[in-house]
Amino acid sequence: MAQDVLCEVNSCKYWAAGNKCNASSIYVVSHRGKHASNSEETDCRTFEPKI
C-alpha cells in the first residue's frame, strides 16, 4: 500500500503542504463501471472542499 498520496488540489480539505493528501483513506471511482483505460476516466470521491 502507498505510504504517501500526492494531491495538487489545494482547495480540498485533505490537502497538506508538499502536495500531500492527509485523508485516512482514498476512494477512487471510474466513469465506466469497474474498468478505466486512463486517469481521465476516474475521479477521487475523497475530495471535500475547504470551508
Indicate the pLDDT class of residue 41, thresholds 50, 70 and 90.
Answer: very high
Collapsed DSSP state (helix, strand, coil) of residue 39? helix
What phi and psi values does residue 48 have, to the nearest 5 degrees?
Answer: -140, 130
User: What integer pLDDT is reported at residue 21 of this predicted model?
Assistant: 96
Using the 8-state DSSP alphabet, how is residue 46 labeled? T
Q: If you average pLDDT over every residue of the chain, what do you get? A: 94
Indicate the pLDDT class of residue 3, thresholds 50, 70 and 90.
Answer: confident
Name the amino acid, one letter, at 40. Answer: E
Indicate the pLDDT class of residue 2, thresholds 50, 70 and 90.
Answer: confident
Q: Cβ-count burial of 43 within 10 angstroms (0-12 exposed, 13-18 middle, 19+ buried)?
A: middle
Measured distance CA(2)–CA(28) in Å, rounded = 14
Q: Residue 40: which H helix or E strand, with range?
A: none
- Give the global pTM: 0.82
